[in-house]
């Protein structure tokens, strides 16, 4: 007696295993891309926030310089004590950063009409950013 298979349709076990392997590989690749994208996005946000704080500090110094014509020369500015009432600490605390972890140094420039300010920011995650800006007095003609 011979039996014949008629009209059997479906997938074999090998075909199902290959399909599952392809799908699993695609899902794992997608998940790894999403996590890598998130890490890049968090780094970008941290860098942008640090830039915003640095620009705010430098702008406040520029306002002080334009108002008074001088800057407080200091090797390490005390943001929390704020001896010159510049109001710089609020830029840090509003953004979740600690002013104690950052340094601001203002020094007299090579000429008597210039100042150099250097701000080093340290983020809560340990990233470091340094901004330097030169301030020059406007020369007044008699």
pTM: 0.66
| Dist. CA 88–CA 78, nearest whole Å | 10
pLDDT tens-place string over residues 5-43: 666 778 899 999 999 999 999 999 999 999 899 989 988
Q: How far is CA 118 from CA 3, 74, 95, 130, 132, in A?
A: 90, 11, 20, 7, 4
pLDDT tens-place string over residues 101-142: 888 888 887 777 788 888 888 888 888 889 998 888 776 555
């Amino acid at each position: 007696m011979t039996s014949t298979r008629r009209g059997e349709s479906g997938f074999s076990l090998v075909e199902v295993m290959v399909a599952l392997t392809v799908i699993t590989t695609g899902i794992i690749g997608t998940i790894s891309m999403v996590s890598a994208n998130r890490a890049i996005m968090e780094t970008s946000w941290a860098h942008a926030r640090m830039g915003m704080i640095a620009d705010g500090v430098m702008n406040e110094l520029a306002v002080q310089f334009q108002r008074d014509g001088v800057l407080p020369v200091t090797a390490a500015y005390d943001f929390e004590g704020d001896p010159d009432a510049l109001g710089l600490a609020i830029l840090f605390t509003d953004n979740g950063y600690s002013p104690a972890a950052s340094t601001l140094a203002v020094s007299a420039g090579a000429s008597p009409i210039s100042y150099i300010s250097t701000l080093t920011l340290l983020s809560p995650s340990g990233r470091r950013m340094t901004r330097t800006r030169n301030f020059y007095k406007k020369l007044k003609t008699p």
